[in-house]
Amino acid sequence: MNADPHPWASDLAGLYAQVWTRLARGVRDRRAAARHPTLATVSPTGMPQARTVVLRAADSVSGNLDIHTDIHSTKVKELRATPLAALHVWDGTAHLQLRLDASVTILTGTDVAEIWAQVPETSRIAYGSRPAPGQPVADALAYAKHPDPACFAVLRFHVLAMDVLHLGRAHRRARFSRHDSWAGQWLAP
Amino acid sequence: MNADPHPWASDLAGLYAQVWTRLARGVRDRRAAARHPTLATVSPTGMPQARTVVLRAADSVSGNLDIHTDIHSTKVKELRATPLAALHVWDGTAHLQLRLDASVTILTGTDVAEIWAQVPETSRIAYGSRPAPGQPVADALAYAKHPDPACFAVLRFHVLAMDVLHLGRAHRRARFSRHDSWAGQWLAP
């Protein structure tokens, strides 16, 4: 029998540390699983919604994550009505599912000027679509992209709790909460 | 310039057909992207929730999808309170994001006896955990799996609408709704 490829999964502190290792890798490495979480929100009519986003920042000290979006996107409307979200990552390399519960702050304007200044020119085209993202258009390509800092928003996720599942020789699942300082609790998978 | 690798993305009917082609492949092929959608629900306290699930059936005629679960899982509790869900797939091969809005019916007991009979012996272990999935346990491995047909539930997703995004040379996005017979409407991406 080979050595356990994921020894960190056997104790709560190791599992928790691995979550932030994976998230940090997602920010840095375009090919890491955590680069592209699925963001779940609730629409104003109560409909769950989910879409792929790009992870732009992860800070284990504050427990905050950032993504960037067009301020006119539907997810911003949803988060204005209900500023709660889940972020989901399945990391096949680590055999690890991350489910993060978060409250969300929408940052714009001067609050994000420094971040906008660091967005590469080629990426700015994602912020400033006419019509706005999700609006009906007469033809598939009847839209234009005009980079506009006034359209740029940072969604800052303040992680409240995490449900972490490791699918190893045995399956392990734990919940970590901000309110108990991330000590962790094993759950039946 | 090479030929367009995804000519089906250029018209609404082709894009719609491709959604069901990809979903059908997910049911059949363990390695297809649509094998493992992310299921988004809302908790009874209004918190969005998301987790990976396994796609077990996809019927383009009825517009229904099935997944299988343990009846004591948290997602069943959530769906009893709010029987609405989103299913999300990012298919990297097709450069295609699927976002499906659905109403959900929870089927159990004699209604699913025929489906249970077809679940392989080795897979039945996923239905019947003690304690129930998501319950606290004193140690990571302090749980047991006892296959139990009384724990087996089928979640049937009746798709109401789809938001489909294709990331090609140009990006295309469309919304398809049951109430207009899936005719489709282009949206700004």
What pLDDT shows up at residue B120?
Answer: 96
- Shortest distance between the Cα of A114 and any Cα of chain B, in A, equals 26
Residue B171 φ/ψ region, left for φ over 0, alpha for ψ in the -120 to 50 degree band, beta for the rest = beta
Q: Residue by residue, what is the 3-state secondary structure of chain A?
A: CCCCCCHHHHCHHHHHHHHHHHHHHHHHCCCCHHHCCEEEEECCCCCEEEEECCEEEEECCCCEEEEEEECCCHHHHHHHHCCEEEEEEEECCCCEEEEEEEEEEEEEHHHHHHHHHCCCHHHHHHCCEECCCCCECCCCCCCEECCCHHHEEEEEEEEEEEEEEEECCCEEEEEEEHHHCCCCEEECC
Distance CA A43, CA B161 (A): 14
Whether residues B50 and A87 touch (CB distance < 8 A) is answered with: yes
Whether residues A188 and B132 touch (CB distance < 8 A) is answered with: yes
Give B-chain residues touching A183 at CB under 8 angstroms.
none
Distance CA A66, CA B105 (A): 35
Burial of B2 (0-12, 13-18, 19+ CB in 10 A): exposed
Name residue, tokens 């294709």: B166
Q: Please, what are the domains in chain B?
A: 7-187 (2.30.110.10)
Give A-chain residues touching B174 at CB under 8 angstroms.
140
* Contact of A131 with A137, CB cutoff 8 Å: yes
Mean pLDDT of A97-111: 98
What pLDDT shows up at residue A147?
Answer: 96
What pLDDT shows up at residue B1?
Answer: 58
3-state secondary structure of B161: strand
Q: Give the one of B46, B90, B143 whose C-beta lies nearest to A82's C-beta.
A: B46
- Shortest distance between the Cα of A64 and any Cα of chain B, in A, equals 18
Residues 20-79 of A with CB under 8 A from B: 36, 38, 40-42, 46-52
Residue B2 scores a pLDDT above 90: no
pLDDT tens string A108-161: 999 999 999 999 999 999 999 999 999 999 999 999 999 999 999 999 999 999
Give A-chain residues touching B140 at CB under 8 angstroms.
10, 170, 172, 174, 186
What is the percent of chain A with per-residue pLDDT over 90, rounded to a whole number?
Answer: 98
- State whether residue B140 sits within 8 Å of chain A by CB: yes
Q: Give the one of B49, B131, B186 whose C-beta lies nearest to A139's C-beta.
A: B186
Distance CA A161, CA B44 (A): 16
Tokens of B77: 């509790």
What is the pTM (predicted TM-score) of this model?
0.97
- State whether residue A1 sits within 8 Å of chain B by CB: no
Question: Which of B38, B157, B159 should one mutate to test binding to chain A, selecting the residue with the greatest count of A CBs within 10 A?
Answer: B38
Rg (CA), chain A: 18
**Residues whose CB is less than 8 angstroms from the CB of residue B173 and which lie 6 or more positions away in sequence, other chains included:** A133, A134, B163, B164, B165, B166, B186, B187, B188, B189
Give me the sign of the Cα torsion angle B140, B145, B150, B153: positive
Whether residues A40 and B38 touch (CB distance < 8 A) is answered with: yes
* Contact of A45 with B81, CB cutoff 8 Å: no
* Contact of B48 with A84, CB cutoff 8 Å: yes
Residue of A nearest to B49 (CA): A86
- State whether residue B84 sits within 8 Å of chain A by CB: yes
Mean pLDDT of B68-82: 98
Band of residue B3 on the pLDDT scale cut at 50, 70, 90: confident
Distance CA B101, CA B88 (A): 9
Distance CA B22, CA B26 (A): 6
Residue B145 scores a pLDDT above 90: yes
Residue A1 scores a pLDDT above 70: no
pLDDT tens string B90-108: 999 999 999 999 999 999 9
- State whether residue B150 sits within 8 Å of chain A by CB: no
Residue A2 scores a pLDDT above 90: no
